[in-house]
Amino acid sequence: MLSGIQPSGDLHLGNYLGAIRNWAERVNEYECYYFMADLHTITVRQEPAELRKRSLNQLAQYIACGLDPEKNVLFLQSHVPAHTQLAWVLNCYTMFGELSRMTQFKDKSAKYSNNINAGLFTYPVLMAADILLYQPDYVPVGEDQKQHVEICRDIAQRFNGIYGDVFKIPEPLIAKTGSRIYGLTTPDAKMSKSVPDGCVFLMDSPDDIRRKFKRAVTDSDRENCIRYDKVNKPGVANLMNIYSTLTGKSMPEIEAEFAGGGYGEFKSAVAETVVSALSPIREEAQRLIADKAYLDEVYRKGAEQASYVAGKTLRKVYKKVGFYQ
């Protein structure tokens, strides 16, 4: 199993509940590779010093969230050159029309109209290389990333059709709970660092978390009751999803628990549940960030392990396409 998150901003509750928390629970089922997708971040201009800092901090947060580096391979994408080497080969087996149809390219082109670069266009090919290098069975992704796994599968099948059984065809794995957490102030859009007031970061203080939930959008109706209805009560439904994911309670159980209570009481309860979940993570991450020697050791070891596996796939690909070994 393999996945990664861009260190383009601080990790948040959506990353944790939708991805990292589930990764940590799969360590006994799969051989797991998780990386900081720093190569992907530069399709949008980054401040170099900040990117370096966030990459290391994200590694610390991965570990604090339960990704034991003794049981998972944790590494920085840019430390394994095979990612970009395979991406170039796969670029030559990916059709222009396929990339033109990618939703994320259209969205980011509109958002960053002054920087529509080639990397933004070929981003899915690098993502395909990220995946196929490690021959994974599954790629845990959110609903919004399914399209990237689909084009990865198309590229792999096309390559295999020409050269034989080179790549394993991976399956997307989408979590049943917490797979998509929406912004506290924008319950119609997924939680994002670009809307900080509605985004709960893993390193937020308890007071900041409580403040953000206090301001969370509920609904404009006069019902003032806790009822799961994604269409008519998206704000309440989002809060219920967060609460359900962290407590394990079903939606009917949550409705019964807060029957007769109002939005204020419910928002406070969700906030305290989130504070309890994130406080140990924040404290452990702070401890790890202060131990740079340990983090250096983790990412160096991770890059060595990842390079060994990735190198085997790359050599096979190079031989198939005719590069002299």
pLDDT tens digits, one per residue of 282-292: 999 999 999 99
Sketch the domain layout of the chain as residue ranges: 2-179+291-321, 196-286
Residues designated catalytic: 108, 190, 193
Question: What is the homologous superfamily of the domain 2-179+291-321 according to CATH?
Answer: HUPs (3.40.50.620)
> For residue 145, is pLDDT > 80?
no
The class that CATH gives domain 196-286 is mainly alpha
pLDDT at 112: 75
pLDDT at 12: 95
Stated pTM of the model: 0.91
Residues 280-319 as b or e (16 or more Cβ within 10 Å = b): ebbebbeebbeeeeebeebbeebbebbbebbeebbeebee
The better pLDDT of the pair 32, 109 is held by: 32
Q: In sequence order, what DSSP letters do the residues of 140-180 get, joined into one string?
A: E--GGGHHHHHHHHHHHHHHHHHHSS-S---EEE--SSSS-
Each residue's pLDDT tens digit, 183-230: 999 998 989 888 899 999 999 999 999 999 999 998 876 677 898 998
